[in-house]
Structure 1
Amino acid sequence: MHDKQNTTYRATPSGDGDILLSVDGKTWRLLGRSGAETELRPAREFLASSRGLPVVIGAGMGNALALLLGSGCGPVAVVDCEKAIQDLSGARERFGLAPGVTWIDASSAEQALRELTRWQEANGGAPLMPIVHPVYLRLRPSHYLALRESCRASRSFDFWSRARYPKFTSWPPRLLLLSSRYFLMGEIEAACKRLGVPHRFIAIGDKERGSTEFVEMLLSAVVEFKPDFVLTINHLGVDREGVLIELLARLELPLASWFVDNPHLILSLYNRLDSQFTTIFTWDRDNIPSLKAQGFANVDYLPLGVDLERFRQPTYQPANHPWRARISFVGNSMLSKVGHRLKGAKAPRPLILAYREVARAFAASEARSVRDFLAAEYPDLFVLYEALPSLEQRLAYEALLTWEATRRYRLSCVEKILPFEPLIVGDRLWKTALKGRSEPWRWHHELSYYSDLPGFYPLSDINFNCTSKQMKGAVNQRVFDVPACGGFVLSDYREQMEDLFELGREAICYRDPEEIPELVRFYLDNPAARERVARAGRERVLRDHGYDLRLGTLMRAMQRLYG
């Protein structure tokens, strides 16, 4: 009947106007020795204080409710999901539809709090005053204790009257950052410090999204810090049920979510996409039409950038360092990622048998969306894909095709640099991927993005790059990081690169893997040409592509929308 944090019980009438609760071989009384006074005392204390919105936590026999309503008190919220007790006491039958009474019987504390805050706002936003039946706290502590504490927090902070305030009244704006382990949040924090942007963090834990604890942390930060908007990466910290989105809309507090991975593999899991207070920034301009079609009114393009304090040109480069290479590639073999998604999709046999063929065709096509590609080119498989029983399985199959397309493409590109004895940095499965190849090449385990790569890139004459197939028009992080360090990068062509660099002078691209050997040979044999491009690329990155500039662009966009 209840989870481990709550008590399993059976309710029976006592014969003397009370209710007996059989709990683990023991018997509790709902009213006990004090009788009706158990319920009346906290209600009288509320009436004596005569402030706030009354929230009856546990209706019991209905004595507190009868007193409140008889005193002309209203509106009243009742939080009670104990159907066994309600059936015996008759409290729900007597008061459930009474004028001014809102009954909240959600089985989770999070849902109950959500309904309670809606009721609070609809009734002027005054503090919530809990009127607590003590037995209910023992029956379901994880439910009723959480709600009692939420009411007490509301009484302490008076959120709704204090949390609405004018936004963007000064520059720079005040940022509330939903902090996670994702790499980009460190760059944003550093940019905030350099630009003098007032900011505060709310740490995201695995169990906090949408929970009572997370909501209380957010509301406390809003009242104390008064941010102009909330910023997150890839919707991290936003719960799938839409609690945070709905809460921010009620607070009239804008949310900026900067996507630096495929947003469709993430946002498809979310409800409540249509808030006018949510703005999506995407590193891939190709996503804008589909995101707007998905329900987002505010979508903007914001490419990746680089932390210029971290990725810097070195003053000294050791001649005999083990990272020294004529050409290197840093990246995952994708074999493990493909295998993981293959298991996660749990797809029927025809979809599994066809995934390699479909991925190969998707990689060669101009299509941006895996789902649309399946519908157009493989209608029979699309029917099976649509019939997968859960959204998570469909997204896993989309990711499977994306990662398999990337794996094939990446391998075909890396094979072209094998004659130049490359240093390949990544997972051990590269040894499986390149097994049987006669050309000599070196392998190195994964390097730390923060502590290793800034020193690694300048030690290669050519840093080779090939972009994931989740982004067919956008560029990845490497085209910014390598030039920032003074290194030379040879990358595959992406349409959006033309907006970021002057091709041929600041960046060198191949449009087909067949072009790779000739370009590699030319730039290995012509160090002066290589250095000219690296120098011009670095000047462009320093001028236009630092994260300070990206954050400034994002803040100005939010001010235009919500200031």
Structure 2
Amino acid sequence: MTLEKNLLALAERDPELVVRLSWPAGSDHVVEGAEGPEYVLGMQRFPLRVGPEAAAGLARQAGDEAFLFGLGLGELAAALLAGGRLVVAWERDPWLMRLALSRHDLSGALRAGTLRLLLGSDLVEERRRGLRGGLVLHPLLGQVYGVERRLLEGRHDRPVAALASGGLFVQDLAAGLERAGLAPFTLDLGRLSREELSRSLGRLRPALLAAVNYVDGLAEFCAAHGVTLVCWEIDPATSDLQPCGEPGRSFIFTYRRGAVAEYRAAGFPHVEHLPLAADPARRRPVDVSGPESARHRAAVSVVGSSMVPDVARHERAFLEAWEAAHGPGARGTGLAALSWVLEAQSRDLSAHRVPALLAGRWPALAAAHPEAVRAASEIAAALKRLAAVRRLARFAPRVWGDEGWREAEGGGVAYMGPAGHGDELDRIYCGSAVNVDLGRLYQMDIVTMRVFDVLACGGFVLAERSDDLAALFEVGVEVDCYGSLEELERKVAHYLAHPDRAAALAARGREAVLGRHTVQSRVDHMLAVAGCAPPG
């Protein structure tokens, strides 16, 4: 009833916003916790609720007019209005705006015009007109919407860059775009309706849409709106690349050399190999000598996903593909086939053999059901990571990541829990005598983000051997590597016994990253190729 009452009042002032709030919106990032709704960021959950005392305290700091950055669940708006203020409240997320209008009766203020609501790209239009009122930040969303906050507080003459939301690397891309002279604004491609996305592009008038990883249909969507797409692929695709009907001005940059031909075959004319990189503003040397950093000091460390929590899902996907190829009731033989492939792969973890093993023994399955190959490869990759950590048990490695690493615990292996993606990663990389890079079994041809990040921190890393590693670094001078678990174990022992050699490599590796492999240099290159670099 509260939502309906608020929407009726809002319709008198802003009927278009009522329509926008009726469009589909994703809600999986807001979950119910013990004390109310929580916001999901990666593997962490944060309370959304602002208590009465905190809301009142923030409201007291505002003047007669307030610009509320992050409506959230509506407590701050209610507190500001209770003080007799004129309030403009912006929220990036339509689902949160719906929740706020469901929890607080704001109908009187909406009808009277003492509360004006802005959603998503409305912020950029308001910025162009000039903001009024003192800025009040939502305690949580003021941080979550950091890209938009910098846009709001920065120079108003910078061209806008639409930025597809996504994983943590999106923040690095945003920082690179900002340093290049652009003003990023986040679009939640997976949560906003197509109608809201189309409206946003029309209002933003962006110089480009920048994305980390490609989503099927994105090129056609940008072409339909006359927007240049600049996409940096940094993660493995979870499905086959679909043919592109209308690429428009789409520029694809991929960390995998082998993917260049795949994108071109799919109809993308502008495709280029572009390795990963580090942002020295975020990854840098830190002091780990104090007692507060004791848990981050280790002889050997491993940071990353175990991939184990997804094994059951991949096993189901393999068996579904097997039954599709061999008929219902063939699950037993499917399990036997999968076990055979995984056992055969485990005998040689220096190369990805799953596709050849399946194609050699079950060619029809491999040809007709590529999802079976992907599923088996994912499981094999998880087993390889566990095997590598267990192989290093005598060095008492510390492992940071998801709960799946518990399967490797014991015999010297210590699971440390998830690693924060802020300064904690810097402390781990700087506090470890040897940082072990474990790539994905099916991606032995790339240099992982972790290698660049560790080197940017001034840490020593043992990377997996690849052609790309030798092309980007001077192996044996700027970085060292291994090609098998036997070699990994041998080199870990060597560098633990010779820390001076590890330190020399780490120092030269950091110089290499700072000189040749920064996120900023990659962003500048992409913008230049796409013709989107701001003048001056």
1:405 aligned partner: 380
Q: Any idea what SS the aligned residue of 1:358 has?
A: helix
2: CA distance, partners of 1:361 / 1:288:
30
Deviations 1:215-261 (A, max 9, x none): 11112212xx4x1x2211112xx5x4x3x533432444321221111
1: CA distance, partners of 2:352 / 2:177:
34
Q: Cα 1:299–1:173, aligned 2, differ >3 Å: closer, same or farther?
A: farther
Deviation of the 1:177 alpha carbon: 2.8
Q: Partner amino acid for 1:357?
A: W
1: CA distance, partners of 2:253 / 2:338:
31
**TM-score normalised over the length of structure 2:** 0.62
2:167 aligned partner: 182
2: CA distance, partners of 1:425 / 1:366:
23
Q: Cα 1:413–1:375, aligned 2, differ >3 Å: closer, same or farther?
A: closer
- The 8 Å contact of residues 351 and 384 in structure 1, kept in 2 or not, is answered as no
1:230 aligned partner: 209
Q: Cα 1:212–1:287, aligned 2, differ >3 Å: closer, same or farther?
A: same
Aligned-residue sequence identity (percent) comes to 26
Unpaired runs of at least 5, structure 2: 1-124, 126-156, 324-330
- The 8 Å contact of residues 233 and 259 in structure 1, kept in 2 or not, is answered as yes
Q: Partner amino acid for 2:253?
A: F
Task: Name which of 258, 261, 274 aligns with 1:289.
Answer: 261
Q: Partner amino acid for 2:364?
A: V
- The 8 Å contact of residues 390 and 408 in structure 2, kept in 1 or not, is answered as no
2:295 aligned partner: 322
Deviation of the 1:413 alpha carbon: 1.9
1:463 maps onto 2:435 in alignment: yes
Equivalence map 1:168-247=2 (5 Å):
174=159, 176-195=161-180, 197-204=181-188, 206-208=190-192, 211-222=194-205, 225=206, 227=207, 229-235=208-214, 238=215, 240=216, 242=217, 244-247=218-221
2: CA distance, partners of 1:174 / 1:471:
37
**TM-score normalised over the length of structure 1:** 0.60
Q: Any idea what SS the aligned residue of 2:184 has?
A: strand
- The 8 Å contact of residues 273 and 296 in structure 1, kept in 2 or not, is answered as no
Q: Partner amino acid for 1:558?
A: A
Q: Cα 1:560–1:213, aligned 2, differ >3 Å: closer, same or farther?
A: closer
Equivalence map 1:130-145=2 (5 Å):
none
Deviation of the 1:282 alpha carbon: 0.6
Q: Cα 1:206–1:288, aligned 2, differ >3 Å: closer, same or farther?
A: closer
1:377 aligned partner: 360
Q: Any idea what SS the aligned residue of 2:403 has?
A: coil
Equivalence map 1:101-116=2 (5 Å):
none
1:336 maps onto 2:306 in alignment: no
Deviations 1:334-361 (A, max 9, x none): 2211112223453322444322433455
Tell me how many residue pairs correspond in the alignment.
369
2: CA distance, partners of 1:326 / 1:286:
35
1:280 maps onto 2:252 in alignment: yes
Q: Partner amino acid for 2:170?
A: M
Task: Name which of 373, 391, 395 aligns with 1:420.
Answer: 395
Q: Any idea what SS the aligned residue of 1:429 has?
A: helix
Equivalence map 1:47-196=2 (5 Å):
174=159, 176-195=161-180
2: CA distance, partners of 1:375 / 1:292:
27
Deviation of the 1:432 alpha carbon: 2.4
Deviation of the 1:528 alpha carbon: 1.1
2: CA distance, partners of 1:331 / 1:200:
28
1:69 aligned partner: none
1:357 aligned partner: 340
Task: Name which of 259, 281, 287 aligns with 2:233.
Answer: 259
Equivalence map 1:432-471=2 (5 Å):
432-434=407-409, 439-471=411-443
Root-mean-square deviation over aligned CA pairs: 3.2
Deviation of the 1:550 alpha carbon: 0.8
2:470 aligned partner: 498
Q: Partner amino acid for 2:190?
A: D
Task: Name which of 507, 514, 520 aligns with 2:486.
Answer: 514
- The 8 Å contact of residues 460 and 487 in structure 1, kept in 2 or not, is answered as yes
Q: Cα 1:218–1:353, aligned 2, differ >3 Å: closer, same or farther?
A: farther
Q: Any idea what SS the aligned residue of 1:452 has?
A: helix
2: CA distance, partners of 1:405 / 1:459:
30
1: CA distance, partners of 2:219 / 2:506:
44
1:546 maps onto 2:518 in alignment: yes
1:249 aligned partner: 223
1: CA distance, partners of 2:349 / 2:407:
27
Q: Partner amino acid for 1:305?
A: A
Deviations 1:538-559 (A, max 9, x none): 1101111111101011112212
1:12 aligned partner: none
- The 8 Å contact of residues 166 and 212 in structure 2, kept in 1 or not, is answered as no
